Structure 1
């Protein structure tokens, strides 16, 4: 588990790097704040007692995403190369697929990646909701996940919606259930479970994660109506609302846009080939 001091140091370095580069790093603080077990997933580099380099590894099923940063004044010293070497060494022991994450607008990241055995895999958009008139449908509702039956529905939705195998889905959801304060919500359509989503409220923001509907029920407008309902709920609390979507998922992108979400940042992912 990372200490409060380490989390503060990471956030401080992130702000410096983002202000200098004009981009946004994806450091998954919802995961950093809930690290458990003995896995080596975070790597630090200090100079004169100050954090100047950090790299985090974030496992999702059979793949791991890696993202890191180095203080602008400390680049070209091989710091990031050393951090990445350690991160890859640990990650490749557990995950068959390694994805390197770089902000689309980071030229220094792109230059670094040109020297690595990797290839572009996909882009991901960060989207923010712009105030839009939304209607709700009484046939589509949201409720907290409580029972064992609810838990099994969540697992099946992870498997069918995101391609995880059942063991991966159970492990990931167990971590969320035990170590996160996120709201785990089930989507109901005409009184039956149709999908799920997770809402994280922290640092004065609301983020929507893990949003999916059973494949057999897709195309009925259930996702849009559920999203409209949760957006209205969070907006009434006065929170700005965010989510992420892969650019290649055109259907999801259109869904979010029709509900008032607009892209403001993007991340590029490269598959490591060695």
Structure 2
């Protein structure tokens, strides 16, 4: 479990890096605040100040890696040392897939990734909803998930995102256990999709939006999004979501509801040496 001071130090360093680089870092704050006993975070302090940070974020057999270095302290090997320690942890934990995450506009990140021989995999758009008229939708139901929805949620993650079933189960166990709202999408009393909504500091984020393949193309996804956006916006939240660029259909769907891309995160595949 991270201490309050550590979390404050991470937040302060994140703000400094984002202002300097004109980017937005994806540090998975939900997971940082919910760390258990296993150390998955790596720190470098000098004179009581956090200089470099790297976090591991596990999703079943896949682990994502993201970190940062104080702008005035870069090119001194700080991040390389943390990365080496992190890869030792990755090896000892037996993760099968490693994804390195960096803002698309970060030259410092690209320099490091190139030196490590990482291979570009895909990009992820972080989108924000712009005020747009939304039609009322009454023929679908969004309801809070229960334990009885767990197997369907796993099925949706496997079919919609191509996840390994064991990874999907591990991810869904985490989602069902935390305080994020998991919502199931019902049509004619049959569950056909799901999404998650996380609210913090005036922002509502939509994650994991998926519809069973046999129900896609019927306008269900658009109606569900309209309903979620309308509810969160009416409650005073700005509404955001994430979507991979390789999913062109989803990108167009979100844009049709009023979402616009504001930040892009690049993901790179990495093989431990």
TM above 0.5: yes
Structure-to-structure mapping, 1:171-250, within 5 angstroms: 171-178=170-177, 180-250=178-248
Q: Does 1:118 align with 2:118?
A: yes
> Displacement, 1:70?
0.6
Deviation at 1:255, TM superposition (A): 0.5
The more displaced of 263-272 and 153-162 is: 153-162
| 2:94 is the counterpart of 1:70 | no
Instruction: Assess if the C-alpha contact under 8 Å between 2:140 and 2:188 holds in 1.
Output: yes
1:227, distance to aligned residue in structure 2 (A): 0.7
Q: Counterpart of 1:36?
A: 36
Q: What are the within-5 Å matches in structure 2 for residues 109-148 of structure 1?
A: 109-146=109-146, 148=147
Q: TM-score, normalised by structure 1?
A: 0.95
CA contact (8 A) 1:62 1:164 kept: no
SS of 1:135's equivalent in the other structure is coil
SS of residue paired to 1:57? strand
Question: In structure 2, what is the Cα distance between the partners aligned to 1:89 and 1:47?
Answer: 23
Secondary structure at 2:116 match in 1: coil
**More off after superposition, 161-170 vs 19-28:** 161-170
TM-score (structure 2 length as normaliser): 0.95
Counterpart Cα distance in 1 of 2:161 and 2:6: 32
Task: Determine if contact 1:141/1:229 at 8 Å carries over to the other structure.
Answer: no
Assess if the C-alpha contact under 8 Å between 2:137 and 2:226 holds in 1: no
RMSD: 1.3
The whole-number CA distance in structure 1 between the counterparts of 2:189 and 2:136 is: 15
Q: Which is worse superposed, 60-69 or 165-174? A: 165-174
Against the structure 1 CA distance between its residues 36 and 163, is the aligned structure 2 distance closer, same or farther, given a 3 Å change threshold? Answer: farther
Partner of 2:258: 260
SS of 1:199's equivalent? strand
Deviations 1:201-257 (A, max 9, x none): 012110011110111111111111101100000000110011111111100100000
> Matched residues in 2 for 1:196 and 1:36: separation?
27
Structure 1 residue 169, shift from structure 2 partner: 2.2
Residue of structure 1 equivalent to 2:51: 52
Greater Cα offset, 224-233 or 82-91: 82-91
Q: C-alpha displacement at 1:57, in angstroms?
A: 1.0
What is the count of residue pairs matched by the alignment? 271
1:132 shift after superposition? 0.7
Q: Using the TM superposition, name which of 111-120 and 9-18 deviates more.
A: 111-120
Counterpart-to-counterpart distance in 1, 2:211 and 2:3? 36
Deviation at 1:171, TM superposition (A): 2.1
Q: Tell me the distance in 2 between the aligned counterparts of 1:184 and 1:241.
A: 16
Q: Which runs of 5+ in 2 are unaligned?
A: none
